[in-house]
Chains A and B, each alone.
Chain A
């Protein structure tokens, strides 16, 4: 769409603005409104001096690295034993996306998955080796790596097991655990292809091994197509150095692809004519189908979306009849750019078109919105469905399960539903045919 045109279309002049707001105010006075509140008790938060207004605050010398308000202490990553492979070194802590604003996840809340614990790499001892089927192998220090001309891109990273515990039915009454195996950040680094321009990739190179220096020596195989498209080696996250949980000082970033492919604490890239078989691309991160065959090298996280407000965590139990409320959510696709999101109030039987808002970027969280007037006691089944510019649309649960079965673990992107009850509570439910649709 033409931005300039849409802005002009939406412009209302100053005179019209005053006319409209005046009319609204008259209507408000006529009914019950905030202006006719003489019967209400005075609010102590207004009537008295507040404690922080009558004494010195902290000196600017405190907290050299700023911290969130102490009142935000419940906004944290969370974990569960179900997602621990024996311990919390090989485990995941997930993002409170019910508290996320915009499309950037703050670094302290970015979901954290490791296979051998979070390594603490001394940047002075950091080395990156690039070798194999290249004309010139190299070793880079961190300083030398950061000397390459940089690029900055905003991309989500998602664990392909996001929603993966719920193939056979809903399990978590929580958006943090049902959808929070992902985050989105602005990354700074260098395109791998820009480094390869100097090294000279040999024509027989088809695959790249990417290997971490952590306790698990995390490895994955990357096809050359991605390496020469948008694969990045990154050291910056939202304007500062990567956090240790994201691979400080350097990780691989394969925009849109499974998080585990974006190997952290990156140590080595090797090019070969044959693929490797790393542990995390055979024993895990393979999707078993009902045919008994499993999909390996399942790279991109497919088009997906969720309603973030309301959510099981932050529901509508405080809303009054007639309140105007914004239904909000996220949409994302590892295969391209979000082109639209539809919203259903009946669990995905019928849809209306929601509105995208803010920046709409490739392989990036995209915010969407729909304005709703709440009727006290109404029962809703809120389902969102996203599309991307590669042409994909989210399947129903029945559609996805009819191909993938229920044992795949990974890459579940069917539409998901929040049930709003009469009291405004929100529950995670699924709209599906019990036992699955009959396969011919």
Chain B
């Protein structure tokens, strides 16, 4: 068998040279080089300009381009409407409102509204993202860890402190997306406080100043946050050359693991390394599919709503949060049950400000959801 020395991604010319050296057989069919005089696009692909009223294979109505500048649909938004919706935060805190919050206040909020999903000190849990795994500056160094040679090795740690390039992302997402079941319910001061707390648990500094319990974050201090991995991303998108950087990056297939080759020069024999083996799924693999995989064409079972299995609902829906805290049969339920089961049912069905979504996000009937509540409270 022919040996191809193509260990690195190669541009078209290199691939072609290797193929010729190796005497790789050429494709016998007619070459299918593109005939479209398509121009290169920012993503490394091709664009299909409109030619003779056709864009690629599609006909277009040429009248549209002529009248488009005159189509005067919609209306100009009012100043207040713009203010209401134009609230994004850009790098360096551009767009941040006035406000402030301390690490201490953030911790209190975190314990009340976040810990049930994100875990103690942001450690994650139940599949929810971790917010910290320790010192951000140390963990940033793990980003070169790659488990290709040794599957047992430590992988890279990608959490807010070690990975994210900008702190603005955190502030913006907490305000608009958190708490996940009841987003957009935090005040700006609360968002500052939670951001301060997350900086704290990532053991970060601002201009050499430690972010301790007393630390108060505000807009001015926010602008001085420098994330440990700010230079960890390519291509560079900031500044006047941002777009050009992106275009240049994707013009080179080597940057992103792609291969270009003329169709007539592609490999048809000896196209794998001699060291290649058939690698099979380890153990049972992943197969916890819902619903279970089946391609049978039979009449479906009539599933009546009354026949829910509370444990199954718990496993699929509630366990995400109710496994570490207020788990089935946990003693932590006592003070809640003391208020009466009707109150527990009501909170479960309507949801709570602290994160319990209405009916846990299910669409079960009240009666059925009470069975689920019974299971989660009593453990049976």
The answer to whether A198 touches B68 (Cβ under 8 A) is yes
Shortest distance between the CB of A273 and any CB in chain B (Å): 8
Chain B: CB-nearest residue to A146: B73
In the complex, B337 has a CB within 8 A of chain A = no
User: How far in angstroms is the closest Cβ of chain B from A223?
Assistant: 5
Bound CA span A145–B75, Å: 11
Q: Is B176 an interface residue (CB 8 A)?
A: yes
User: Is A339 touching B281 in the complex (CB atoms < 8 A)?
Assistant: no
- What chain B residues lie within 8 Å of A270 (beta carbons)? 86, 88
Q: Which residues of B contact A347 (CB under 8 A)?
A: 272, 276, 278
By the criterion CB–CB under 8 Å, are A406 and B183 in contact?
Answer: no
Flag if B317 contacts A295 (CB, 8 Å): no
**Within residues 152 to 183 of chain A, which ones have a CB less than 8 A from any CB in chain B?**
153, 165, 168-174, 176-177
Does B291 reach chain A (CB closer than 8 Å)?
yes
Asked if B224 is at the interface of the complex by the 8 Å CB criterion, the answer is: no
Please classify how large the interface on chain B is, using the bins under 10, 10 to 19, 20 to 34, 35 or more: 35 or more
Question: Which A residues are CB-close (under 8 A) to B128?
Answer: 85-87
User: Across the interface, do A279 and B173 meet the contact criterion of CB distance under 8 Å?
Assistant: yes
A84 sits at the interface (CB 8 A): yes
Residue of B nearest to A300 (CB): B43
- Decide yes or no whether B48 CB sits under 8 A from chain A: yes
CB contact list, A379-398 vs B, under 8 A: 381, 387-396, 398
> Is A50 interfacial (CB-CB < 8 Å)?
no
Type the 1/0 row for A275-298, where 1 means its CB is closer than 8 Å to any CB of B: 111110011001110111111111
Residues of A within 8 A of B346 (CB): none
Q: Does A136 lie within 8 Å of B76, measured CB to CB?
A: yes
Q: Are A288 and B156 in contact (CB under 8 A)?
A: yes
B47: Cβ under 8 A from any A Cβ: yes
Q: Could you tell me which residues of chain B, from 141 to 177, have a CB within 8 Å of some CB in chain A?
A: 143-151, 155-156, 158, 160, 163-166, 168-169, 172-173, 176-177
Contact across chains for B166 and A390 when beta carbons are under 8 A apart: no
Say yes or no: B148 contacts A435, CB within 8 Å. yes
The answer to whether B256 touches A173 (Cβ under 8 A) is: no
User: In the bound complex, how far is the Cα of B238 from the Cα of A292, in angstroms?
Assistant: 20
A104 touches B (CB below 8 Å): no
The answer to whether A399 touches B6, judged by C-beta atoms less than 8 angstroms apart, is: yes
* Stretch with Cβ within 8 A of A (4 or more), from B188-196, B204-212, B294-302, B304-312: B294-302
Answer whether A257 and B43 are a contact pair too, CB < 8 Å, given A74-B297, A194-B64, A353-B29: yes
Contact with A along B252-275 (1 / 0, CB 8 A): 011111111111001111111101
Binds B, one of A8-16, A25-33, A329-337: A329-337
Among A272-330, those with CB < 8 Å from B are 272, 274-279, 282-283, 286-288, 290-300, 302, 313-314
Q: Which of chain B's residues has its CB closest to A408's CB?
A: B257
Instruction: Say yes or no: A336 contacts B147, CB within 8 Å.
Output: no
Cα separation A116 to B6 with both chains bound (whole Å):
43
Measured in the bound complex, the distance between the Cα atoms of B150 and A217 in whole Å is: 39
Given the known interface contacts A279-B172, A279-B173, the answer about A174 and B293 at a Cβ–Cβ threshold of 8 Å is yes
- Comparing B55-63, B102-110, B213-221, B369-377, the segment that makes contact with chain A is B55-63
Is A404 at the interface (CB under 8 A from chain B)?
yes
Stretch at the interface among A53-61, A245-253, A370-378, A426-434: A426-434
- Answer yes or no: B380 CB below 8 A from chain A CBs: no
Q: Closest approach, in angstroms, between the C-beta of B22 and any C-beta of chain A?
A: 13
Is A22 engaged at the interface, CB distance under 8 Å to the other chain? no
B164 contacts A399, C-beta separation under 8 Å = no
Q: Interface code B300-337, partner A: CB below 8 Å = 1, 0 otherwise?
A: 10000000000000001100110000000000000000
CB pair A391–B144 under 8 Å, yes or no, is no
**Which residues of chain B are within 8 angstroms of A406 by Cβ–Cβ distance?**
146-148
Knowing A136-B76, A226-B43, A392-B258, say if A362 contacts B273 (CB, 8 Å): no
The answer to the question of B342 belonging to the interface, with a C-beta cut-off of 8 Å to chain A, is no
Q: Which residues of A contact B12 (CB under 8 A)?
A: 391
Task: Check A139 for interface membership: any CB of B closer than 8 A.
Answer: yes
How near does chain B come to A332, taking the closest CB pair, in angstroms? Answer: 12
Known: A82-B286, A84-B127. A225 touches B41 (CB 8 A): yes
With A274-B238, A290-B144, A433-B275 in contact, is A336–B46 under 8 Å at CB? Answer: yes
Interface residues of A in 170-203 (CB under 8 A from B): 170-174, 176-177, 194-195, 197-198
A residues less than 8 Å from B232 (CB atoms) = 292-294
Closest to B239 in A: A274
Q: A346 CB to closest chain B CB, in angstroms?
A: 9
**A389–B43 CB distance below 8 A:** no
Which among A172, A342, A396, A417 is the interface contact of B285 at CB below 8 angstroms?
A172
A387 to B15, CA, bound (A): 15
Given contacts A276-B90, A296-B237, A336-B45, contact A170 B281 (CB under 8 A): yes
A350 CB within 8 Å of chain B:
yes
Q: Is there a chain B Cβ closer than 8 Å to A100's Cβ?
A: no
Q: What residues on B are CB-neighbors of A194 within 8 Å?
A: 64-65, 68, 71
| Contact of A402 with B8 at beta-carbon distance under 8 Å, contacts A288-B143, A389-B46 already known | yes
Contact among B88, B254, B256, B286 with A411 in the assembled complex (CB-CB below 8 Å):
B256
Which of B38, B64, B266, B291 contacts A387, CB < 8 Å?
B266
B258 close to A137 (CB less than 8 A): no
CB–CB B278/A381 < 8 A? yes
The stretch from A37-45, A208-216, A233-241 touching chain B is A208-216
Contact B43 A334 (CB under 8 A): yes
A69-119 interface with B by 8 A CB criterion? 70-74, 76, 78-82, 84-90, 98-99, 115-117
Is B43 a contact partner of A335 (Cβ separation < 8 A)? yes
Would B256 and A298 count as touching, CB distance under 8 A? yes
Contact of B151 among A81, A168, A174, A339 (CB under 8 A): A168
Task: Select which of A209, A277, A298, A440 is within 8 A of B169 by beta carbon.
Answer: A277
Q: Is the CB–CB distance between A149 and B286 below 8 Å?
A: no
A121 at the interface (CB under 8 A from B): no
Interface members, chain B 25-58 (any A CB < 8 Å): 27, 29, 32, 34, 36, 38, 41-48, 56-58
Q: State whether A436 touches B148 (Cβ < 8 A).
A: yes
Closest to B267 in A: A351
**Which residue of the partner chain, among B173, B250, B263, B290, contacts A78 with CB atoms under 8 Å?**
B290
Q: Which 3 A-B pairs have the closest CB atoms?
A: A335-B45, A86-B128, A197-B68
Extra contacts, 8 of them, besides A177-B286, A407-B155 (Cβ < 8 A), are: A80-B286, A82-B286, A85-B129, A216-B177, A282-B169, A298-B256, A396-B276, A398-B273
Q: 12 pairs across A/B with beta carbons < 8 Å?
A: A129-B85, A141-B74, A177-B286, A277-B168, A290-B144, A335-B41, A362-B48, A396-B271, A400-B257, A419-B280, A429-B280, A434-B277
